[in-house]
A and B are shown apart, each in its own frame.
Chain A
Amino acid sequence: MGLLLAAALASLQGCATTGGGTKPGLHAADAEISDPLEPMNRKVFDFNMGLYDHVIEPVAKGYEQVTPMFVRTRVANFFANAGYPYIILNDFLQLRVHQGLSDVSRFVGNTLFGVGGLFDFANRFDLPPHENNLGVTLGVWGVPQGPYLVLPFFGPSSLRSLPGIPAAILASPFYYVSSTPAQWSITTLGVVNEGYTERGAVRMVKEAVFPYYFARSAWLQHQEYLIRGRALSSRELMEQLGPEQPEAPPASEKPAAH
């Protein structure tokens, strides 16, 4: 693990200094994106979409048909709750103590009083769910993003976020289940649940005008948002308008339908 982290961080620093893969001439928001592996990423992206179409989605639809909503919600709650040790670890690594304490309360409450996380007990006590991961922690610590990556099965990522995959596995309670059949069963149900709960997001990507760029932009923006502590300054809002703010056409040029 240490070696993996060290290797990833070293590569990341290298990429940050070269800044390869950016595309001059595109809009400012896009020009800052480092995607030197775009040809390969796009192939993996297509593979993932194909996998979703031909395997994950049919299985998720079958799951939806054979299980009542009550069961699907309990399963989704259970897996979401099991992900909290990883989220809490990252909360405190980022020194976001208030969020960390809220997430500890949420995890303990749901585990003890929500029957192992099957019921979202914490929701009644204004303890909202949060997102967090090691890529965000490294970003908070100042580690550059590095090149954008699309991973088989996992989807959008970056060099900085790569160590988050083994970290999430090690922080998961399921990793410490000793029975191999039980581990396989949990993993299989987890994949089915993921396919079911994320189908709306995947549908949005699939239906986009340019799915690859849509997914890349959304993922990168959301990571930055989490790194900033879910905040956006006025300066950032204005920067999103780009360096050029061309004049809109005069009213007379507006379409009649307006």
Chain B
Amino acid sequence: MKKLPFVFLLLGGLSLAAPSAALAEPASAPPHAAAAGAPRLVVEQLDDALLAAMKQAHKLGYTGRYRSLAPVIERTYDFPAVAALVLGGQWSRLSPAQQREFVAALRDYTIATYAARFDGYAGERFAIKSIQPLPPNRMVVSSTLTESGGKVHSLDYLMQPVAGQWRVINVVADGVSDLALKQAEFTHLLEQRGFPGLIAGLKGYIARMAQGKE
């Protein structure tokens, strides 16, 4: 990533205004957050995988980055929950088979986005700033991505537990919610072109990501 002009357009997060105590890990974490470090670990593993892919970007190529990032991203995101949130009320109108197809396409879309965008390294660094509980059962991991030129981007990960594992359901980058971006695009596509059009749109995007990327 030689330059991150609008990193918030990728997938993102945002530093919460009040620092310190309000955002610190709670002294008495609820039972479901028994390991308050668990959400942090998920984000750290994603950051580490991204940095590794960025540093070897040219050696790996797009396909190599896709393969190396895929397992980490699959562990990081709760794709079924994200899919339901993205489509909102339209989700329940899909058949179970269509829901599964959409979740799979969304997973490929996300991995393709990471593999295509994180395509170089110029001294960028990630840092986790705070972890905040969000009742009843969610957590927000606030982190930053600092460009080599000093520009700092905020990345907030909204997470929830799924079968005992913390997973990301939204990322907000410099105030731009990835969930809201997907809602804006996908719901219009679904309304205008139906479910086949939505899937075709996602597959077309994945093909564009792979095309011409090193």
Contact = CB atoms under 8 A, between A and B. Distances in A.
A221 B185 contact: no
Contacts of A29: 177, 180, 183-184
Given A200-B6, A254-B80, A240 B181 contact: no
A209 B185 contact: yes
Contacts of B6: 200-201, 204, 218
A255 B104 CA distance: 7
Given A209-B205, A210-B188, A218 B104 contact: no
Interface string B135-175: 00000100000000111101010100011000001101011
A112 interface: no
Interface in B1-32: 3-6, 8-10, 14-17
Interface residues of A, number: 57
A128 B92 CA distance: 45
Contact of A221 (B16, B150, B169, B175): B175
Nearest to B77: A258
Interface residues of B, number: 67
Q: Specify the main secondary structure of chain B where it touches its partner.
A: helix
Contacts of B169: 241
A209 B183 CA distance: 11
Contacts of A214: 9, 181, 184-185
Contacts of B85: 241-242, 245-246
Nearest to A207: B208
B84 interface: yes
A208 B201 CA distance: 9
29 contacts: A27-B187, A29-B177, A30-B184, A129-B150, A129-B151, A201-B5, A201-B9, A204-B9, A204-B10, A205-B9, A209-B189, A213-B185, A214-B181, A217-B180, A218-B8, A221-B176, A222-B174, A225-B14, A226-B175, A231-B16, A234-B132, A234-B134, A240-B177, A241-B169, A242-B85, A244-B88, A246-B89, A248-B83, A254-B100
Interface of B: 3-6, 8-10, 14-17, 74, 78-81, 83-85, 88-89, 91-92, 96, 99-100, 103-104, 107, 109, 117, 132, 134, 140, 149-152, 154, 156, 158, 162-163, 169-170, 172, 174-177, 179-181, 183-189, 191, 201-202, 204-205, 208-209
Given A214-B185, A241-B169, A253-B96, 5 more contacts: A30-B183, A197-B5, A210-B185, A241-B179, A255-B104
